[in-house]
Amino acid sequence: MSVSPCSSFSFGTELLVSDACCIGQSGSITVDPHDAVSWMPLKVADPSCPWACKNGPNMPKSIPFKDIVGAVSDSNDGSLRIWYCEAMHSKGPGGMDKVVYKLKKSDKLECSNRHEAVILANSIQKNASWWGRSHPPNLVLVYNPTSGKARSSQIVTETLVPMLRDAAGMHVTLHETQSPGHATSVISGLDLEHVDMLVFVGGDGTVFEGLQGLLNRSDWDSARRIPFTHVPGGSGNGLASSCGLWDPVTAAFSVCKGRYEPLDIASVVISKAEDQVNGNHATTLAGSRKGNASNGLAQRQHVNPVVTGQCSSRCFSFLSVVFGLWANIDVGTEAQRWMGESRYTIKAVQEAWRSKPYPVRISYWPADQELPTAKAAPVPDPQPPTAQSGAVCQALSLDASSRTGQHEALAEAVTVSRRRDNAGTKGVSASVSVSEHMLKEALLPKEGCSASDMGRAGQQDHAGTADSLSNVPCSHNMTSMATHSSFKDNAHARPGASPIPTPLLDTSWPDGPPPSLPAHESGMPRGWRMLPTTDLQMMALYNVPFMASHAMLNPRGSLSSGSFDLLYMHGLTGVQGRLQFGDMLLRSEDGGHVDLNYVFSEKVTGMALEPLCEDTFMVVDGEVVPKRTLYVEVHPSFCRTGKKSIEKLHFVKVSKRSSISAPLVFIFIIAHF
């Protein structure tokens, strides 16, 4: 490896050495693209300087590129500062190793002239945060200024823009949301040809809206490959916490390093808005928007526009589907926001004391069961959908000809076997055969991997495999974002484009989802199972481990297991049942509730849910949806989301508490007598 002066520096092939001065100490700064940035003083420097050498003049201190964000040069005096991060370890929920990154800056390094300072800074930016490219990545940053404690704007101006644009040298385009659903309109209207990553700043609701815009595009097969990162700025931040992005600095550092993880996504299909009769009980769309005054439930002022409408509608979930208990604790306390997080505790105590079941009929498709094969059937000519910028409600009736054609060609190829993990706490490992790979490849138009594609991030479709956007060439098992479908060709809506296929739901209900479910399992399509009772005191369908930064409600979940976790509880009665109910709520903060013998769980790849009561909510990813029969199908490793830069999130088995909280027992005893 040769050494070149600044004027002839070539990125990625040579060392860059320049004279510099740090706190009055003369020396030289060396940029090694394959290792680190090093400072070598001519004599022992001031110990207060982070570059100080305490062991002699020939022992330089260096910062490895894996820790560097970038550098900022000052054109006025020809100096620069290195921005880097240090990992801080602490004990997180459930005994996990919680890692956050703290941003630091080196002392001012004065170069020989302004030109050298600019070249040095540019070289450091390229090697630290440009993902192995010769040009800076293009980021689209969407932030919700009203999310959580309304700190998103401050996070953008004080953390993200300085780190990503100023220090890392990335191209950042900002979009501030103006109203509910605006993030969906922004993403659905983007030209994605030159977008390398999407960054959402806010809560899980902001990510939810952005995901609808991404997957409801006609070019969804290309759009879904663009990684998106959640920067925590809301009240929940479940996705960010599950990815190890505990704060804005940690999330921004993850963006700089181009780390991502495959993410399971679920299609959530809501049946037609017509009366659903179950015995003497009827549920209507209008009724679903009413609160129950006798129980003190305060309904949100609006149902999220993503899933409203009088026809069958569809949205996409990355987090959870909840009904009853958790929905009441979450959205049922909106009117008490002035109480802060204490409103959740008070509502939890109320729910524990009531121990009330919320009737709901649930059927599910087990994760360890093979998917059904499609049946060939004549279909009418499809009607091209109308292209609407910002539209987020998608009809269930898919492009019949293209969907059926795909199913016919691949019916015998779909032999995906999933097995449960016997340990119960490590999630589900998905055994994906070559047939499933054939399915994924056939659903996407193939194109050759050109030299221009080499600059884009390498992607892997295998569940549970993390990868980086840095230095990944095209190969037999890695494809670039642009390999399957050209962004240029698909940047705008195409009439007649096929929506995302849902083979499980389509083969189970070829005529569309019915407005109600049969009372017994024998009435369900073959392969679907039904829970033994409808009187559930707790029901939730989870994907990722965290539903909020302080609530690890699904410790057995993972980002890309290929399935969701169905948790439910029933049969708790009397004072003992109330105590057990309260114990479950207390343990849920660090995931210990899943070890209780009265909390049941199933790994599923499909679910059907019919609400049978009025005094609660139905919530998808924290958003209230119409209270109608709902159908879910999981798409394994369908998208990619940013993760922390160290390799894995480590969860440990939660130890059981010997007894429930004494204050809660005291409250129960006083309330009982």
More confident residue, 29 or 278: 29
pLDDT at 161 over 80: yes
Percent of the chain with pLDDT over 90: 42
Determine the pLDDT at residue 348: 82
pLDDT at 631 over 70: yes
pLDDT tens-digit series, residues 637-647: 999 999 875 44
* CB 270, CB 314: distance < 8 Å: yes
Determine the pLDDT at residue 475: 28
pLDDT at 466 over 70: no
Please list, residue by residue across 41-80, b when 16 or more beta carbons sit within 10 angstroms of its beta carbon and e when fewer do: beeebeeebbbbbeeeeeebbebebebbbbbbbbeeebbb
Q: What is the mean pLDDT of the chain?
A: 73
pLDDT at 417 over 50: no
Distance CA 630, CA 542 (A): 15
| Tokens, residue 549 | 């930064």
Question: Considering only 73-87, 252-266, 442-456, 560-574, which range has the smallest mean pLDDT?
Answer: 442-456
pLDDT at 414 over 80: no
Distance CA 397, CA 403 (A): 10
Question: Considering only 30-44, 138-152, 180-194, which range has the smallest mean pLDDT?
Answer: 30-44
pTM score? 0.75
Q: Is 389 exposed, middle or buried (0-12, 13-18, 19+ CB in 10 A)?
A: exposed
Please give, one letter per residue, the 3-state secondary structure of 169-219: CCEEEEEECCCCCHHHHHHHCCCHHHCCEEEEEECHHHHHHHHHHHHCCCC
Determine the pLDDT at residue 646: 45
Determine the pLDDT at residue 51: 53
Distance CA 616, CA 622 (A): 14
Across 210-239, average pLDDT: 93
* CB 156, CB 201: distance < 8 Å: yes
pLDDT tens-digit series, residues 587-602: 888 899 999 999 999 9
Name, of 54-58, 372-376, 649-653, the range with top average pLDDT. Answer: 372-376
Question: Considering only 192-196, 341-345, 525-529, which range has the smallest mean pLDDT?
Answer: 341-345
If phi > 0 it is left, if psi is from -120 to 50 it is alpha, else beta; for residue 339 that is alpha
Across 319-329, average pLDDT: 91
Across 502-525, average pLDDT: 93
What is the number of other CB atoms lying within 10 angstroms of the CB of residue 277?
11
Determine the pLDDT at residue 24: 64
Determine the pLDDT at residue 439: 34
* CB 403, CB 315: distance < 8 Å: no
Q: Is 384 exposed, middle or buried (0-12, 13-18, 19+ CB in 10 A)?
A: exposed
More confident residue, 116 or 472: 116
* CB 607, CB 319: distance < 8 Å: no
Distance CA 443, CA 320 (A): 26
Determine the pLDDT at residue 239: 95
Across 298-313, average pLDDT: 48
More confident residue, 16 or 451: 16
More confident residue, 71 or 290: 71
The helix/strand/coil state of 283 is strand
pLDDT tens-digit series, residues 74-113: 878 888 899 999 999 888 776 778 899 999 998 888 887 8
Q: Which residues pair with 277 in a beta bridge?
A: 282
Across 325-354, average pLDDT: 78
Sign of the Cα pseudo-torsion (68, 70, 76, 77, in order)? positive
pLDDT at 382 over 90: no
Q: Which residues pair with 67 in a beta bridge?
A: none
Alpha helices in 22-164 (DSSP H): 114-129, 152-155
Determine the pLDDT at residue 14: 61
pLDDT tens-digit series, residues 131-151: 988 899 999 999 999 888 889
| Tokens, residue 552 | 């690890």
Across 514-524, average pLDDT: 94
Q: Name the band, by pLDDT with cuts 50, 70 and 90, for residue 269.
A: very high
Sign of the Cα pseudo-torsion (343, 349, 354, 355, in order)? positive
More confident residue, 373 or 349: 349
Q: Which amino acid is at 160?
A: L
If phi > 0 it is left, if psi is from -120 to 50 it is alpha, else beta; for residue 390 that is left
Determine the pLDDT at residue 49: 59
pLDDT at 169 over 60: yes
Q: Which residues pair with 322 in a beta bridge?
A: 540, 619
DSSP, residue by residue, 576-634: HHHHHHHHHHHHTTTTGGGGSTT-EEEEEEEEEEEE--SSS-EEETTEE--SS-EEEEE
Determine the pLDDT at residue 393: 35
Angle subtended by helix axes 434-442 and 400-410, to nearest 10: 150
Determine the pLDDT at residue 553: 92
pLDDT at 445 over 50: no
Question: Considering only 22-31, 252-261, 298-307, 311-320, which range has the smallest mean pLDDT?
Answer: 298-307
Across 271-288, average pLDDT: 45
* CB 124, CB 70: distance < 8 Å: yes
Q: How far apart are the first and last CA of the chain?
A: 81
Determine the pLDDT at residue 242: 93
Q: Is 263 exposed, middle or buried (0-12, 13-18, 19+ CB in 10 A)?
A: buried
pLDDT at 636 over 80: yes
The helix/strand/coil state of 150 is coil
Question: Considering only 4-8, 77-81, 187-191, 367-371, which range has the smallest mean pLDDT?
Answer: 4-8
Distance CA 257, CA 178 (A): 30
Q: Give the phi and the psi of residue 250 in degrees, each rounded to 5.
A: -60, -40
Nearest to 124 by CA among 162, 164, 72, 175: 72
Q: Name the band, by pLDDT with cuts 50, 70 and 90, for residue 47.
A: low
Distance CA 660, CA 586 (A): 7
* CB 68, CB 163: distance < 8 Å: no
Q: Which amino acid is at 555?
A: P
Name, of 162-176, 363-377, 476-490, the range with top average pLDDT. Answer: 162-176
What is the number of other CB atoms lying within 10 angstroms of the CB of residue 634?
24
Distance CA 42, CA 45 (A): 8
Nearest to 101 by CA among 324, 282, 250: 250
The helix/strand/coil state of 354 is helix
Give Cβ neighbours of residue 175 (< 8 Å, ≥ 6 apart).
140, 141, 142, 143, 183, 186
Determine the pLDDT at residue 451: 29
The enclosing H or E element of 503 equals helix 503-508
* CB 96, CB 136: distance < 8 Å: no
Q: Which domains does the chain have, with CATH numbers?
A: 3-129 (2.30.29), 138-264+384-490 (3.40.50.10330), 268-369+513-633+651-672 (2.60.200.40)
Determine the pLDDT at residue 5: 37
Determine the pLDDT at residue 653: 43
CA distances from 330 to 222, 242, 324, 535, 578 (A): 34, 19, 10, 21, 20
More confident residue, 80 or 26: 80
Across 201-228, average pLDDT: 94
pLDDT tens-digit series, residues 596-620: 999 999 999 999 999 999 889 999 9
Across 220-249, average pLDDT: 93
If phi > 0 it is left, if psi is from -120 to 50 it is alpha, else beta; for residue 49 that is beta
Give Cβ neighbours of residue 623 (< 8 Å, ≥ 6 apart).
205, 208, 304, 306, 307
More confident residue, 49 or 673: 49
More confident residue, 415 or 466: 466
Distance CA 540, CA 269 (A): 17
Q: Which amino acid is at 174?
A: L
Q: Name the band, by pLDDT with cuts 50, 70 and 90, for residue 181.
A: very high
What is the number of other CB atoms lying within 10 angstroms of the CB of residue 112?
13
* CB 226, CB 214: distance < 8 Å: yes
Distance CA 295, CA 224 (A): 42
| Tokens, residue 487 | 């962004």
Determine the pLDDT at residue 276: 41
* CB 152, CB 143: distance < 8 Å: yes
Q: Vertex 226, ends 220 and 230: CA angle to 5°? A: 115
The pairing of beta strand 197-202 with beta strand 228-232: parallel
| Tokens, residue 673 | 């007598």
